Amino acid sequence: MNLKESFEKIKSNDFVVEIYGLGYVGFPLAVRLSKNGFKVIGIDVNTERIERLQNNQLMDSELLLKNEFLESRERGLLELDDKSNTDSNPKIGIICVPTPIPTETTSSDIFVKSAVESFLKYSKKGDAIILESSIEVGTTEKIEKIIESRGYSIGNDFGLCFCPERIDPQNKEWGIENIPRVIYCSDDISFEIAEKIYQNVNNGNLIRVEKPKIAEVVKSFENAFRLVNISLVNELAILCDKLGISVKQVIDAAATKPFGFLPHYPGAGAGGHCIPKDPRFLLESAKKMNQQFITIENALEINLKMPIYITDKIEQILEQKGLEKSVLVCGLSYKPNIEDMRDSSSFKLIKEMKNRGFEIFGYDPFFNIDYVEKYLEENKITELDFERLNDLDYERIKNISCMCIVQHHLVDKEKIMSIYEKSVLPCIYDCQTKLGKNKQSRTELYYLGE
């Protein structure tokens, strides 16, 4: 069967979608496609995750899709497995597995290659692969060679696309259903197949590019843009600290310019799975071309420096006030209003403080004790170096010297304001400059960048 013949069957929905990796990208994609009537098999090598989903047990970050997930399961449109299987109908494999930062011993495409090999084990002529994982430049061409080594002809009897994921968890304006997507396709038929699938994801809003390396650089550059701007504003915050002025007022005033300026605000450092990692793929490409990418190198360095700088400031404040080095780090997730602790700056800050002899307490309303092992792995740590608090009870926290707010969550907004207004703690250090000052409070409020 060639791709043209496959496409005729796909137009009649006589095909199967296998989604590899059921994390923050693959899970919502599997639910959306199965909800819209496609036969989907969600595949993950994490057998505990598969067992959990087979038992209809969802994590906090998955609960928004609970009804659609259960409906798809009941209709038999969403199956879950830890491996691929044979099927007489055309199969489309969508690869959504994580990609690690490349090291001397681990390549960034290790999981992507493994997923592709798993799909190819049971593939046939007329099938296609769509890569969604963030990948290093040149990876799509490597995958093409792997496919061709199995006797397939790319663009004739086997399709290959790269459509890098774009997802922002909990973003109410831009979701999987309306975010435009960039895509590279090996041929026109593969593009038509992709359009058929993504018509049920984001209404087929696909921007096709000519070469796979273009799409690969696009993905890394998008996150490099964020990293560089976040690092720029964090370095500006350090300067404003020393100048004795408010970085927030500087940025707010600059944002009145109606063109040529996009406001970013400071914090303890960029976290998550994308911004600290994807720009490194451009660094790797630059090294292979005997080039430096100094802007990204400096941005990464500044990002890592922020927990050190914040620890310096809090340590200085407590010494000046003669207070013990005890800190409550509040807001452990990498972004607001979500249970997502991946590569969070909070854990880097805690590690830095712990190394300096601080007594550390940690609190986040979304922290789930059942996911501790996941948090440890996501932050490359072996244990929680802090005493975890279940709530912000006044009596429990009143003997702590300082609350360091790394991430603000709406669910805690009133409680934190009350702690400040009632002067429960001697000091509060707000890394995001969101807590409004109250002259009646005896608690000293400090901002990053002021």
Please state the domain extents for the chain: 3-210, 278-447
C-alpha 393, offset from chain centre = 31
Element (H, E) at 50: helix 47-54
Task: Please state, in angstroms and as integers, the Cα–Cα distance from residue 330 to each residue in 166, 317, 377, following that order.
Answer: 28, 18, 21
Cα end-to-end span (Å), the chain: 66
142 and 110 Cβ atoms separated by less than 8 Å: no
The answer to whether 271 and 345 have CB atoms below 8 angstroms apart is yes
Write down the CATH number for the domain with range 3-210.
3.40.50.720
Specify whether the backbone of 449 is left (phi greater than 0), alpha (psi in -120 to 50) or beta: left
Which sign does the torsion angle of CA 160, 119, 49, 195 carry?
positive
Give the 3-state secondary structure of residue 333: coil
Candidates 320, 336, 330; CA nearest to 424 is 330
Assess contact for 140 and 212: CB atoms under 8 A: yes
**Cβ atoms 264, 248 nearer than 8 A:** no
pLDDT mean for each 10 residues of the chain (450 residues): 92 95 95 96 95 93 92 97 91 95 82 97 96 96 97 96 91 91 97 96 96 97 96 97 96 97 96 90 93 96 96 97 97 93 95 97 94 91 94 96 97 96 97 95 96
pLDDT value of position 171: 84
Question: How far is residue 160's CA from residue 140's CA, in Å, rounded to a whole number?
Answer: 8
- Backbone phi, psi, residue 92, to 5°: -115, 115
pLDDT of residue 263: 96
Active site residues: 274
Same fold, 3-210 and 278-447: yes
Instruction: Say how far apart CA 371 and CA 175 lie, in whole Å.
Output: 25
Neighbours of 361 (CB within 10 A): 19
With beta carbons less than 8 A apart as the criterion, state whether 158 and 1 touch.
no
Q: Give the relative orientation of helices 26-35 and 188-202 as an angle to the nearest 10 degrees.
A: 90
Structure-block tokens of residue 234: 């964090």
Residue with tokens 């973003």: 171
Give kind and range of the element (H or E) at residue 48: helix 47-54
Q: Is 1 exposed, middle or buried (0-12, 13-18, 19+ CB in 10 A)?
A: middle
Using CA atoms, how far apart are residues 404 and 331, in angstroms rounded to an integer? Answer: 9
**95: DSSP letter:** E
Tokens for 33, please give them. 């496609």
Strand 427-430 vs strand 359-363: parallel, antiparallel, or unpaired? unpaired
Cα–Cα distance, 291 to 284 (Å, whole number): 10
Let me know the angle formed at the C-alpha of 362 by 358 and 364, rounded to the nearest 5 degrees.
Answer: 160
Q: Which helix (H) or strand (E) holds 181?
A: strand 181-185
| Residue pointed to by tokens 């796979």 | 212
The answer to whether the beta carbons of residues 343 and 334 sit under 8 Å apart is yes
> What residues pair up with 78 in beta bridges, in sequence order?
40
Give the whole-angstrom CA distance, residue 69 versus residue 300: 38
Place of tokens 């002259």: 439
312 C-beta neighbours (distance < 10 Å), count: 12
In CATH terms, 278-447 corresponds, of 3.40.50.300, 3.40.50.2020, 3.40.50.970, 3.40.50.720, to 3.40.50.720
